[in-house]
Amino acid sequence: MKTKEVKSLMILPLFVLLLVVIGCGISGPPANVSPTMTSSPQESAPTTPVETVEVNGYIEEIKGVRVLRVWGSHQEMGYAQGYLLADDLAELFGHHLFDTMFANLPREWTYERVLGLMEQYILWPEGYREEMEAMVRGVEAALGELPQITHERIEAGSVTMNADMIALLNAHTDLLDLPRDCCSFAAWGAVTGDGYTRVGGNQQGQRGPLHDYVLLMVRQPDYGLSTACSNTVGSLTCMRGMNETGVAEMPQGAETPWVTVDGPCYAGMHARLVLEAQAAGPDLASRVAEMFEEYPRCGSSVFLFAQGTSSWDNPQPDQVALVIEHDYTGVTVRLPSHNRLHGNPLTEAIVATNHFLQREISPSARTTRESDRRYDAMVAALQEGVTDLADMQRVLIACDKGGVAQQSVYVEPDAMTIHVAFRPSADAPHSPAQTPASFTWKELFMPLEDLVDK
């Protein structure tokens, strides 16, 4: 981490706090953005016992992958996740997350102090705080009572599981300045032979407790588009996946100069916000950019979005895929026509690593050199063509650094198919060479639709 002058030294220890729970998404401290009308999370009151309500969801293992299906409102989906994953959440908070988060934190830093910092800066989109609170009620209904979390860093010695814990779990990527070496790409047209779009992305980085709680999460909200995404227990966003119209999303970390905080900003729910609201279409790039501008991100991030070429007639290269650079300077859209500025000769493919044309980053920085290596390796692999899943794996294998990836996800929007491969065990790293499990949209959503119809 580079040393830069900041006005508020209290932020520094927090970046050490969560080093191992982050995947590839990284960000600097909350950026200089104006306060919004949405209030910051309120302090959670102790949860009172509630009667069990109908659970809008179910979980099962399919092809070796845990699949969680939920539907309804934010509250109904949150309750279902809490109820169905109650044991996982209790284990995650009770035995893993606290020890990991506080391992390198100065001893005077307590859980309450960290929450205060989060509540000072982090905003949540409409419905998300309610979803977290409903998740806690679901845990309570499933277990009969909420788990008591005991740790030496809790000022009172212990605290009942609450929505603040889930908020911290979901906000940690917005309070970090830690690079992660992730890769993603999209290809179509002549590069794929049949013209159809193929998208892939992986997540690399240190091992941490969240990576032991991965699953495929299928959501059918009553207010927006359905999504299927790789995810972790307790997560509110979408890690890698697509929506029912074939819009696919893959995230990256990013690095920008260290900045101070002048106002609150939004937790990184942007992937889910976009997928639930934006259908495929020729103007996707402008619509996605507007959503990022509506929800100022706390730190820097890079997102790749792509869609199927069969969504409309005569698609142009700059309409199929885009990369969003989002940092304290604002939102910048990168299109396939910008490829040549970054050493990519392909007009029907786009690649993203941690710095895709990132502004104000030193060319000599280690993270940039490594990001360049991964970028160039994927470009070279794409020039050989990407006609099937094996080719998609080959592109990510070119990016991988010796099997350190935590997961790999591949999406074929025209075929409405998603392939996922997670780290096989807590002790073994994942490699993109691992054979993924494949799911069609019909497989994922037909059982859910039958239940919702009833």
Q: Is residue 109 part of a domain?
A: no
3-state SS string over 316-369?
A: CHHHHEEEEEEECCEEEEECHHHHHHHCCCCCCEEEECCCCCCCCCCCCCHHHH
Average pLDDT over residues 44-63: 73
Q: Is residue 203 part of a domain?
A: yes
Comparison of pLDDT for 38 and 144, the residue scoring more? 144
Q: Please state which of the ranges 69-78, 84-93, 150-159 shows the lowest mean pLDDT.
A: 150-159
Q: Is residue 148 part of a domain?
A: no
pLDDT at 272: 97
Comparison of pLDDT for 83 and 431, the residue scoring more? 83
pLDDT at 326: 82
Of 310, 330, 309, which Cα lies nearest the Cα of 318? Answer: 309
Using the predicted structure, report yes or no on whether residue 61 has a pLDDT greater than 60.
yes
Report the CATH number at residue 325. 3.60.60.10
Beta strands in 222-291 (DSSP E): 227-232, 240-243, 247-252, 265-266
pLDDT at 260: 54
Q: Is residue 206 part of a domain?
A: yes
pLDDT at 205: 62
Give the Cα-Cα-Cα angle 132, 135, 136 (nearest 5 degrees).
95
Q: Given pLDDT bands bounded at 50, 70 and 90, which one contains residue 434?
A: confident
Q: Given pLDDT bands bounded at 50, 70 and 90, which one contains residue 285?
A: very high
Q: Given pLDDT bands bounded at 50, 70 and 90, which one contains residue 366?
A: very low
Comparison of pLDDT for 335 and 103, the residue scoring more? 335
Report how far residue 406's alpha carbon sits from residue 421's, in angstroms, rounded to the nearest whole number: 9
The mean of the pLDDT values for the chain is: 81
| Strand arrangement of the beta sheet that strand 417-422 belongs to | 349-352, 183-189, 195-204, 405-412, 417-422, 437-440
pLDDT at 363: 52
pLDDT digits (tens, 9 = 90+) for 182-198: 889 999 999 999 999 99
pLDDT digits (tens, 9 = 90+) for 149-184: 988 888 888 999 999 999 988 887 676 554 556 889
Using the predicted structure, report yes or no on whether residue 231 has a pLDDT greater than 90.
yes
Report whether 250 contacts 200 (CB < 8 A).
yes
Ramachandran angles phi, psi of 223, nearest 5°:
-120, 0
Q: Is residue 347 part of a domain?
A: yes
**Could you give the percent of the chain with pLDDT greater than 90?**
50
Q: Please state which of the ranges 112-126, 246-260, 271-285 shows the lowest mean pLDDT.
A: 246-260
pLDDT at 30: 38
Alpha-carbon dihedral sign for residues 259, 260, 265, 266 = positive
Report how far residue 24's alpha carbon sits from residue 400's, in angstroms, rounded to the nearest whole number: 13
Q: Which residues contact 230 (CB under 8 A, 6 or more apart)?
A: 214, 215, 216, 217, 239, 240, 241, 407, 409, 420, 422
Domain count along the chain: 1
Q: What's the pTM value of the predicted model, to 2 decimals?
A: 0.86
Average pLDDT over residues 237-257: 88
Contacts 24+ apart (CB under 8 A), 10-15: 10/117, 11/117, 11/175, 11/261, 13/105, 13/106, 13/109, 14/114, 14/117, 14/175, 14/176, 15/175, 15/176, 15/177, 15/178
Question: Residue 156 burial (CB < 10 Å; 0-12/13-18/19+)?
Answer: exposed
Average pLDDT over residues 8-32: 38
Q: Is residue 129 part of a domain?
A: no
- Quote the domain boundaries for residue 409: 177-453
Using the predicted structure, report yes or no on whether residue 284 has a pLDDT greater than 60.
yes
Q: Given pLDDT bands bounded at 50, 70 and 90, which one contains residue 20?
A: very low
pLDDT digits (tens, 9 = 90+) for 376-431: 999 999 999 999 999 999 999 998 876 667 789 999 999 999 999 987 765 666 66
Both structure tokens of 390: 């094996």
Report whether 203 contacts 405 (CB < 8 A).
yes
Question: Residue 272 burial (CB < 10 Å; 0-12/13-18/19+)?
Answer: buried
H or E element that contains 409: strand 405-412
Q: Which of 30-39, 150-159, 285-294, 339-348 tops mean pLDDT?
A: 285-294
End-to-end CA distance of the chain: 53
Which string of DSSP letters, residue by residue, matches 43-82?
PPPPPPP-------EEEEEETTEEEEEEEESHHHHHHHHH
Q: Is residue 378 part of a domain?
A: yes
Q: Is residue 86 part of a domain?
A: no
- Quickly count helices (H) and strands (E) in the chain: 13, 19
Using the predicted structure, report yes or no on whether residue 6 has a pLDDT greater than 70.
no
Query: In b/e form, how buried is each residue of 205-229, taking b as 16+ CB within 10 angstroms?
Result: bebbbbbbbbbbbbbbbeebbbbbb
Using the predicted structure, report yes or no on whether residue 282 has a pLDDT greater than 90.
yes
Of 189, 251, 221, 173, which Cα lies nearest the Cα of 407? Answer: 251
Using the predicted structure, report yes or no on whether residue 5 has a pLDDT greater than 70.
no
Using the predicted structure, report yes or no on whether residue 87 has a pLDDT greater than 90.
yes
315 secondary structure, DSSP code = -
Report whether 243 contacts 276 (CB < 8 A).
yes
Report how far residue 157's alpha carbon sits from residue 84's, in angstroms, rounded to the nearest whole number: 28
